[in-house]
A and B are shown apart, each in its own frame.
Chain A
């Protein structure tokens, strides 16, 4: 049975789908805790973001052999044929780091941390062949509905608890064409062998007016028809992050 396994397509994906929603930088105990006045205290977050976003630099995406220029506004799935190497490797859509604006690290190398306005980058875990379906427009939070696009998987971050809502303050989303979500033309993913340079779409989230010197718990949630959540796995389709920013 070991030998019937395809190199290109996993036999089963029931354990890996629905996919997880993860944030960069990688945080310990889901906590981002730093002091504005101490660059050392947020060094690791900046480092993590730098490292992750390096792949999204435009010089990394130069080759036209590998990269495909897809529409720079959200569009439908791009199917690239069967899951095998009959046509060699598959092309990959470019994703410009600049689209993350304030959180791209280009203008502000500290990603807002030194101003006490931390950025996190949100990504949807790669799952081979997975085509996320945007939500039907019922039962979505009003904020999400506002910017609805049929080709975008919307993400929304808000206070975990109702009473913390005012502590979170305004949340800025930076993604392709200003949509707070993942555009569909990046899906489906064809796997490590066929798309070794695959760039998954990102969404930067900046918290511009967090309350300092207290713990603020924020939950970011991805909405979609085939997105699931689990009580046991806190990173499936959503994640939680705790900010503890010291003003001094």
Chain B
């Protein structure tokens, strides 16, 4: 069997052990079929026992029939590709399509409908058996019911199918490229074409395309954080250093990043057989928890279905007691069930969600799990990453200190900010150092790309400096050409500085320029002078103090600070052509001239502070969880507003009041920064306590495991938690969260698989958009439900009156089905397009226990107020139509027995006219139609009032929701079509009706409108009053 099957049976837990070693535990998830599974477990273990790292290169070549110099033979590679399949993670194995479809057809409600259809068919069969071929009503009803189930089933299936497609299409957006050597030639091919035995090259910036046994390496370092959560770069080299494949240095894992250096290696595992692949496919076997909205809908449908069956049962019993034949009583039962059960609620719901998903996709949020959209709306806590989500994920020069003054650089993404004064001589000197003492360079061929977006080869600080000087100075590459480099000492951790020596541009000036950058205190040590306004002044204590202050200030902002200095070498001692030796350092490295400090930070995204503010007004707490340093984390938190202005931590208060930390009243501190070390020693109750105590929290230096604990603690407080994450190790937290949000750019596939939503632009502000849309969907769904529920009453009362007062039936089963499944669908969907009532992001998040989708206020208002008015409208129209044709209301009462007796061909009406059964039947159909039109007319007004729950419709705008207007027109057209299309009377029991019968319900419609405007006015005027509580839904 395929490895895929085996993986699904086990869950892998990855734990970081104290010694920092990774340990992969395989847990058996289920215990049934023990023997078979045991065997599979053995297989699994065997597969985990990769020994490729221990083989010699020769053995490796033999095993994979490859060559470490020429790579695979391309035809052979093609064969392996056919054998093993493409090198990509298979999406988690879904349920087979037919099962998905069957599931759509066999829900609780659907089963009810099936039973109903079966009853109808049996009734029809019995009628046929009795030789009564006149009425095929039951047959039509059965067909209609089956059609409904199948159509809604298809619809649901289609929606599901579509949302799966969204994800699939998203995956194909960026095919990864890899450099492979086959037949001795280098190729760039799509990474998914790689096969076991391929010889590949990786270099800094690449994502490792498969599990690779390293053959050669030049300073290759990888970031295994997506696998282990450990963000320290790890060296990769050809030597086997550990017997565990996870520990050894000569294996680079699929989907990890190569940070620097280059390496070549032989692929030993591809696709799902890679370590990551195994973990990902195991993790995806874990069941998702039900989303709050799914619970809501189920809860709601259960109540409604229960109500339907209760009412239906009561009627059934009453009908049987009154003396109806069993079958007829059964048909009543069904009519009521059909009228009551909001069968297409799921369909409407699906449409609403997929609409929103589409809308979000346009705003760079891909929603994997449709229902998650609404969950996002009820989110009360967002645990956000810092890097890349809140920040731009690129180091940027933010401050400079020269001429004893701190200057602020422009850190905005599009360089729209203010620049600083660049006229000073010191600045020119500093700029020269920054440009020259820098190893980073732009990848070629990017001249047309804006500077901030250009790809740079080099580390983060150098990249920042390069881009900074490119923007302020112009073409740095050319500038460097002019100042030819004579010698270089790269940055290393012992020196903590970097030196380069350059010839000057002017050929007449024989001096060499030595430029140096490094850790500020080390640079300062080597300086004798300081440049102020272009003048070299001796570096005395006063200047040193000024330096210290600036250094502390910048450091306190959480920024990485570098010092810069230079020295023009004595042309006598170092003439042109002097051979500088970087090992010996045969040139001065002290007594230099200090030029300035430059500090860098990964700046917050421009949109984030606004988004955090929005979250705050929306009652959502934003918690920062980052692996970064506490000071940086705090600085970013403060700059984006996670720690608001004026909020202090316990430490801040202590230092301000000059008292020991222990004496501070902890409740006074709104903000709190907890680092991973502290977190480790905390009991989970302590964490909950801290979360309660400080509204503004930042967790720094946390491991992905701790992220999970934080999420759980928030959930213990009853919060609905959204979590952002990108690494493989975030997947437990993403799964645990009520809504997991993965990063589309930085995110690993495992994180994306575990998440419910993917932010294509990794931008926090997109989450806020999601929240807004989620809330909107809940509101609109509520409106839609209110609209849908309302007509249940005018559908039910005809039966009630029919049975209790024995009038001729005012509304037929098929007519009800038409209302439910045909005319009212479009308007109820159109409410999903309704814009937010302006204050949507100023409300607290929904309390999932209290604010239900279908609450009592909504039901009572819809059923007993609007529904009642609609019923009155229907009956008024019904009695009008009856009376105008000759049947006065009083005569109708008790008429049922005669009316329905098909042997009576001369039943007298109020004028003494005699009606045949056929004539009465058409009159009955006329009544159905009239009642139908009444409900439709009222529903048109109903959909208008449902546009808002609190605001006046006039404030919301009548025609702003174009779809709704179209829906109303459509509804009217459909009504006309049903009434006036020839052939309708005998198929669907619709009769052409007189124009004035369309008008009878209008006053009631207007009443509905006015009534609801009064309700909304009361709700707006008296918030919190009895009125508000009882009438606001």
Chain B 908-939 near chain A by CB (<8 Å), digits 1 or 0:
11111111111101110010000000000000
> Using Cβ atoms and an 8 Å threshold, which residues of chain A touch B923?
15
A16 touching B919 in the complex, CB below 8 Å, given contacts A126-B912, A126-B914: yes
Q: Is B879 an interface residue (CB 8 A)?
A: yes
* Nearest opposing residue in chain A for B132, CB measure: A29
> Using Cβ atoms and an 8 Å threshold, which residues of chain B touch A230?
918
Q: Is A28 an interface residue (CB 8 A)?
A: yes
Q: Is A71 an interface residue (CB 8 A)?
A: no
A10 touching B918 in the complex, CB below 8 Å, given contacts A22-B905, A191-B912, A192-B910: no
A window 27-49: CB within 8 A of B: 27-29
In Å, the complex CA distance between A15 and B923 comes to: 6
> Using Cβ atoms and an 8 Å threshold, which residues of chain B touch A192?
908, 910-912
Q: Is A65 an interface residue (CB 8 A)?
A: no
Q: By the criterion CB–CB under 8 Å, are B1000 and A20 in contact?
A: no
In Å, the complex CA distance between A189 and B889 comes to: 23
> Which among B454-462, B591-599, B689-697, B880-888 touches the partner chain?
B880-888
> Using Cβ atoms and an 8 Å threshold, which residues of chain A touch B926?
15
Q: By the criterion CB–CB under 8 Å, are A20 and B886 in contact?
A: no
Q: By the criterion CB–CB under 8 Å, are B919 and A236 in contact?
A: yes
Which of A10, A12, A123, A230 has the most chain B CB atoms inside 10 A of its CB? A10
Q: Is A235 an interface residue (CB 8 A)?
A: yes
Q: Is A82 an interface residue (CB 8 A)?
A: no
In Å, the complex CA distance between A26 and B914 comes to: 14
Min C-beta distance of A130 to chain B, whole Å: 9
> Using Cβ atoms and an 8 Å threshold, which residues of chain B touch A198?
912
A window 140-176: CB within 8 A of B: none
Q: Is A86 an interface residue (CB 8 A)?
A: no
In Å, the complex CA distance between A64 and B884 comes to: 34
Chain B 681-714 near chain A by CB (<8 Å), digits 1 or 0:
0000000000000000000000000000000000
> Using Cβ atoms and an 8 Å threshold, which residues of chain B touch A19?
914
> Using Cβ atoms and an 8 Å threshold, which residues of chain B touch A191?
911-913
Which of B914, B915, B921, B922 has the most chain A CB atoms inside 10 A of its CB? B914
Q: By the criterion CB–CB under 8 Å, are A125 and B906 in contact?
A: yes
Q: By the criterion CB–CB under 8 Å, are B919 and A26 in contact?
A: no
* Nearest opposing residue in chain A for B882, CB measure: A2
Q: Is B986 an interface residue (CB 8 A)?
A: yes
> Using Cβ atoms and an 8 Å threshold, which residues of chain A touch B910?
10, 192
B window 870-905: CB within 8 A of A: 876, 879-880, 883-886, 888-889, 903-905
A1 touching B880 in the complex, CB below 8 Å, given contacts A10-B913, A125-B913: yes
> Using Cβ atoms and an 8 Å threshold, which residues of chain B touch A20?
905-906, 914-916, 918-919
Q: Is B996 an interface residue (CB 8 A)?
A: yes
Number of chain A residues close to chain B: CB under 8 A: 37
> Using Cβ atoms and an 8 Å threshold, which residues of chain B touch A138?
none
Q: By the criterion CB–CB under 8 Å, are B885 and A12 in contact?
A: yes
> Using Cβ atoms and an 8 Å threshold, which residues of chain A touch B915?
15-16, 20, 125
Chain B 150-180 near chain A by CB (<8 Å), digits 1 or 0:
0000000000000000000000000000000
Min C-beta distance of B874 to chain A, whole Å: 14
Q: By the criterion CB–CB under 8 Å, are A127 and B914 in contact?
A: yes
> Using Cβ atoms and an 8 Å threshold, which residues of chain A touch B876?
2
A12 touching B916 in the complex, CB below 8 Å, given contacts A22-B905, A191-B911: no
> Using Cβ atoms and an 8 Å threshold, which residues of chain A touch B905?
20, 22, 26, 125, 235, 239
* Nearest opposing residue in chain B for A126, CB measure: B914
In Å, the complex CA distance between A155 and B926 comes to: 31
In Å, the complex CA distance between A9 and B886 comes to: 9
In Å, the complex CA distance between A2 and B921 comes to: 22
> Using Cβ atoms and an 8 Å threshold, which residues of chain A touch B914?
16, 19-20, 22, 125-127
A2 touching B917 in the complex, CB below 8 Å, given contacts A26-B904, A125-B906: no
Which of B885, B889, B916 has the most chain A CB atoms inside 10 A of its CB? B916
Q: Is A78 an interface residue (CB 8 A)?
A: no
Min C-beta distance of A44 to chain B, whole Å: 12
In Å, the complex CA distance between A192 and B887 comes to: 13
In Å, the complex CA distance between A20 and B879 comes to: 24
Contact of A27 (CB < 8 Å), options: B884, B903, B916:
B903
Min C-beta distance of B701 to chain A, whole Å: 79
Q: Is B522 an interface residue (CB 8 A)?
A: no
Chain B 997-1008 near chain A by CB (<8 Å), digits 1 or 0:
000100000000
> Using Cβ atoms and an 8 Å threshold, which residues of chain B touch A8?
911
> Using Cβ atoms and an 8 Å threshold, which residues of chain A touch B879?
2
In Å, the complex CA distance between A13 and B913 comes to: 10
Min C-beta distance of B905 to chain A, whole Å: 4
In Å, the complex CA distance between A233 and B916 comes to: 8
Q: Is B842 an interface residue (CB 8 A)?
A: no
In Å, the complex CA distance between A22 and B918 comes to: 12
Q: Is A234 an interface residue (CB 8 A)?
A: yes
Which of B880, B906, B910, B1000 has the most chain A CB atoms inside 10 A of its CB? B906
Min C-beta distance of B246 to chain A, whole Å: 81
Q: By the criterion CB–CB under 8 Å, are B906 and A10 in contact?
A: no
Q: Is B994 an interface residue (CB 8 A)?
A: yes
> Using Cβ atoms and an 8 Å threshold, which residues of chain B touch A127?
913-914
In Å, the complex CA distance between A5 and B904 comes to: 26
In Å, the complex CA distance between A248 and B71 comes to: 108
Contact of A22 (CB < 8 Å), options: B880, B906, B909, B996:
B906
> Using Cβ atoms and an 8 Å threshold, which residues of chain B touch A10?
884-886, 909-911, 913
In Å, the complex CA distance between A14 and B996 comes to: 15
> Using Cβ atoms and an 8 Å threshold, which residues of chain A touch B904?
26
Contact of B994 (CB < 8 Å), options: A12, A16, A128:
A12
Min C-beta distance of B199 to chain A, whole Å: 83
> Using Cβ atoms and an 8 Å threshold, which residues of chain A touch B908?
126, 192
Min C-beta distance of B129 to chain A, whole Å: 15
In Å, the complex CA distance between A27 and B906 comes to: 12
Q: By the criterion CB–CB under 8 Å, are B912 and A189 in contact?
A: yes
Q: By the criterion CB–CB under 8 Å, are B886 and A234 in contact?
A: no
> Using Cβ atoms and an 8 Å threshold, which residues of chain B touch A15?
885, 915, 919, 922-923, 926
In Å, the complex CA distance between A29 and B909 comes to: 23
Chain B 292-305 near chain A by CB (<8 Å), digits 1 or 0:
00000000000000
Which of B880, B912, B918 has the most chain A CB atoms inside 10 A of its CB? B912
A233 touching B918 in the complex, CB below 8 Å, given contacts A1-B1000, A2-B880: yes
In Å, the complex CA distance between A2 and B887 comes to: 11
Chain A 117-128 near chain B by CB (<8 Å), digits 1 or 0:
000000101111
* Nearest opposing residue in chain B for A191, CB measure: B911
In Å, the complex CA distance between A91 and B905 comes to: 26
> Using Cβ atoms and an 8 Å threshold, which residues of chain A touch B883?
2, 5, 11
In Å, the complex CA distance between A10 and B909 comes to: 10
A window 106-135: CB within 8 A of B: 123, 125-128
> Using Cβ atoms and an 8 Å threshold, which residues of chain A touch B889?
2
Q: By the criterion CB–CB under 8 Å, are A235 and B1000 in contact?
A: no
Contact of B909 (CB < 8 Å), options: A16, A123, A234:
A16
* Nearest opposing residue in chain B for A237, CB measure: B916
Which of B879, B909, B911, B915 has the most chain A CB atoms inside 10 A of its CB? B911
In Å, the complex CA distance between A16 and B913 comes to: 8
In Å, the complex CA distance between A235 and B996 comes to: 30
A11 touching B885 in the complex, CB below 8 Å, given contacts A1-B880, A230-B918, A235-B917: yes
Q: By the criterion CB–CB under 8 Å, are B922 and A125 in contact?
A: no
> Using Cβ atoms and an 8 Å threshold, which residues of chain B touch A16?
885-886, 909, 913-915, 919
> Using Cβ atoms and an 8 Å threshold, which residues of chain A touch B888?
5
* Nearest opposing residue in chain A for B994, CB measure: A12
In Å, the complex CA distance between A9 and B905 comes to: 22
> Using Cβ atoms and an 8 Å threshold, which residues of chain A touch B986?
232
Please name 17 pairs of A and B residues whose Cβ atoms are closer than 8 Å in the assembled complex, sorted by A.
A1-B1000, A9-B911, A10-B910, A11-B885, A15-B915, A15-B926, A26-B903, A26-B905, A27-B903, A123-B906, A127-B914, A128-B912, A191-B913, A232-B918, A233-B919, A235-B918, A236-B918
Interchain residue pairs A-B with the least CB separation, the first 4: A233-B918, A192-B912, A20-B916, A125-B914
Q: Which residues of A contact B (CB under 8 A)?
A: 1-2, 5, 8-16, 19-20, 22, 26-29, 123, 125-128, 189, 191-193, 195, 198, 230, 232-236, 239
